[in-house]
Structure 1
Amino acid sequence: MKKVVLKDIAQHVGVSTALVSYVLNGQAEEKQVSKENAEKIKLAAIELNYQPNQVAKSLRMRKTHTIGLVVADINYRFSTGITRAIEAEAKRLNFTVIFGSTNESPDKFTELTNVLVNRQVDGLILVPGENSQQQILHLQNSGIPFVLIDRYFPEIDTNYVALDNYKAAYDAVTYLVTSGHKRVSFINLKTSMFHLQERDRGYLDALKDHHLESRPEWLIHIDGDDLPHGIASAIQPLLNSADKPDAIFLATDRLTIEALKRLNTLGVKVPDDISVLSFDESDAFDLFYCPVTHGRQPLEEMGEAAVKTLINLINNQKINKKLTFQAGFVPGKSCRET
């Protein structure tokens, strides 16, 4: 079967090929094509089963209508949630998303971003990991539009969409304090990433502002490469101490899952023996015997904002967007009233 081209549609309708091109490339209004002719051209394209050559169109328009998305760990609930949100908003705006996961490797982050740039994506949405600052600076110098999401580096002036991690942690500790808890431990990952350090700061400031004791042994940082071992090594001393904490606050959902598994193995009842609060939510919480109190990140809103910001950059708008979102909070039954 002969491939239908613009000339065929033009002859079918009785207009010029240029007019057909304007309509099918979304320039009808700009080129002052009448509504009647535009409608006839669109109907003819459907009737003749016209299939545009996307490669040729991309070369002509100098746009591929694709977005590169790089996440830190696709197994992380934030990554799957934010990926769905970004794909939905991109689709609504006629963009396709190509994504990859770095598994928190700076080398893979560099490799993936370079691959996507070479694939001629129009722009990038990035969840950077530790030690990826040089690649961020390289992207800035290259001029490709990009937006950081979830994580950013305060020392680098970039467009980003992020959570107010400080306030989320502060509010979580405040919830525990108003529930009657006085000895709150916080378990976080050992990292240089700003967003996790802000969770430390929120925890410490909340204790200070509520006039509660802050013990060094209650703020614990563990290695993310071996969570089960790290959690086991962290929780045992807490439970064995003479003046043990009455609540454990955990900085990520994966830390919380490992902590719940460990407490269950030890026969420690939540919340009867100790309260547990998670910064993030997880589908795995549904498998626990009581609903877990947790924070909730506005993933849909963050994903939508990242796509809109990036498309504005792609369209050559000189913008400076540093968007900060507030976390929600979902009370469960893992924190007792004392």
Structure 2
Amino acid sequence: MARKTSLKDIANKVGVSTSLVSYVLNNKDKENRVGKETADKIRKAAKELNYFPNLNARSLKTNISHTIGLIVADISNPFFSSLARTIEDEAYARNYTVIFGSSDENNDKFIKVLDFLSTRQVDGFIVASPEESRETVLGLKESNVPLVLIDRYFSDIVVNTVMVDNFKASFEATNHLLNKGHKRIGAIVYESTLLHYQDRCNGYLEAMKQAGIVDGTQFLAKVNHQSLQTEIQEAVQKLIFEDKVTAIYFSTNTIATEGLKQIKNVGKKIQEEIDVVAFDENLIFQFLDVHVPFVSQPIKKMGQEAVRILIDQIENKDQGIINVLLKATLETKEKLQKVN
């Protein structure tokens, strides 16, 4: 295992004292009259050297604060806002307060939120990690602060997790369309390093394979989170007019919202000309004239389990690693009818 970067390493790189580095990285540079140029150099060096604060050392300075740090990927996403609400309620029932932030799927912001929460002396973290955050999560885990990853995970980092079986849920969502007689089923997924998104993609491909459609990738469109609207517009047009699909699986509620809009924009009737199914619900579904089947994640159970595991670890440091895998359900009101 590589040696962790220390305050002294940063001090040597910049040419200042370790106490000066400590002031800056603990956001006390202004009160200690550290110049802006020097502070900027220290923060830049810390980032270049992959410095991660010793959160455990900070927490040892006080007793349990009964405060939990929650970091989600995007608080504007209905899934994460509902999850945050559940976690806050469950924590409150156990006499804990939650301080939360959003990384906006950005690792640099994730690090800043982590560092801020650590100054608030939180007892532990519940985290939905963003893209490109493996090293950050590894550093957090190695700091020995109580930690639960929720919704996302890393296959090579042994840590508490609360997950939904994304592969199986995606497999069943695709099967829903296959059982209605569709063969040319498109899927729109994120181009992502996050494993839970890859699990959803693989669940779709496996369902297509078992249905005898060996090369399901021919109907698979991957889109980038940063240019979502444009890429989904292009994907929907290609799937409908070039690939001649009769159904589309949207692997997130955000993708579904934009995808449904694009289906209408190209003049196709949802659930009549183009059948659809989505992963996660969105409020916009309630305003459509047709029902959109969707994978429903057990958000309340996820939040309850994450809080239970974290508080148990806070209050019992010797607790072993716990991995919880929950089952999602497909919510549909329509009867299965074979496509003519």
Maintained 8 Å contact 1:271/1:336: no
From the superposition, tell whether residues 191 and 140 of structure 1 become closer, same or farther in structure 2 (CA, over 3 Å). same
Q: How does 1:1-338 map to 2 (within 5 A)?
A: 62-241=63-242, 244-315=244-315, 316-333=317-334, 337-338=338-339
TM-score by length of 1: 0.79
* Post-superposition offset of 1:140: 1.8
How far does residue 61 in structure 1 lie from its aligned partner after superposition? 7.2
Describe the SS at the equivalent of 2:115: helix
Q: CA deviation at 1:308?
A: 0.3
Q: Offset at 1:78?
A: 1.2
Give the stretch that moved more between structures: 84-93 or 131-140. Answer: 131-140
Q: Is the 8 A contact 1:71 1:102 kept in 2?
A: yes
Counterpart amino acid of residue 113 in structure 2 = L
Cα gap change, 1:334/1:139 in structure 2, threshold over 3 Å: closer, same or farther? farther
Name the larger-Rg structure.
1
Letter in 2 for 1:84: R
1:230-269 deviation line (CA, Å, top 9, x unaligned): 111101112212x511110010001111111111122100
Name the CA distance, whole Å, in 2 between partners of 1:130 and 1:92.
Answer: 32
Q: Any conservation in 2 of the 1:293–1:334 contact (CA below 8 Å)?
A: no
Gaps of 5+ in 1: 1-57
Q: CA 1:336/1:263 → structure 2, altered by over 3 Å: closer, same or farther?
A: farther
Q: Using a 3 Å threshold, how does the CA distance of structure 1 residues 205 and 215 change in structure 2: closer, same or farther?
A: closer
How big is each residue's C-alpha offset from its partner over 1:197-224, in whole Å with a ceiling of 9 and x where there is no partner? 0011111111111213534331110111
Q: 1:305-336 CA deviation, whole Å, 9 max, x = no partner?
A: 00000001101232211111110111145986
C-alpha distance in 1 between matches for 2:335 and 2:114: 41
Structure 2 vs 1, CA of residues 59 and 200 (structure 1 numbering), >3 Å: closer, same or farther?
Answer: closer
> Contact 1:290 / 1:334 at 8 angstroms: preserved in 2?
no
The equivalent residue for 1:18 is: none
Deviation sequence 1:15-35 (CA, Å, 0-9, x none): xxxxxxxxxxxxxxxxxxxxx
Classify the secondary structure of the residue corresponding to 2:226.
Answer: coil
The 1:157–1:317 alpha-carbon spacing in structure 2 relative to 1, beyond 3 Å, is same
Q: Distance in 2 between matches of 1:80 and 1:65?
A: 22
C-alpha spacing 1:165/1:59, structure 2 compared with 1 (3 Å): closer
Cα distance in 1, alignment partners of residues 336 and 79 from structure 2: 23
Amino acid at match of 2:323: K
| Structure 1 stretch displaced more, 91-100 or 261-270 | 261-270
**With structure 2 as the length reference, what TM-score do the two structures score?**
0.79
| 2:125 maps to amino acid | L
- Alpha carbons 1:293, 1:335 under 8 Å: kept: no
Evaluate the alpha carbon distance shift between residue 277 and residue 65 of structure 1 in structure 2; reply closer, same or farther with a 3 A threshold.
same
Q: Check whether the contact 2:65–2:122 (CA below 8 A) recurs between aligned residues.
A: yes
**Is contact 1:165–1:195 with CA below 8 Å preserved after alignment?**
yes
Change (3 A) 1:334 1:266: farther
| Contact in 1 for aligned 2:179/2:336 (Cα 8 Å) | no
- Corresponding residue number in structure 2 for 1:24: none
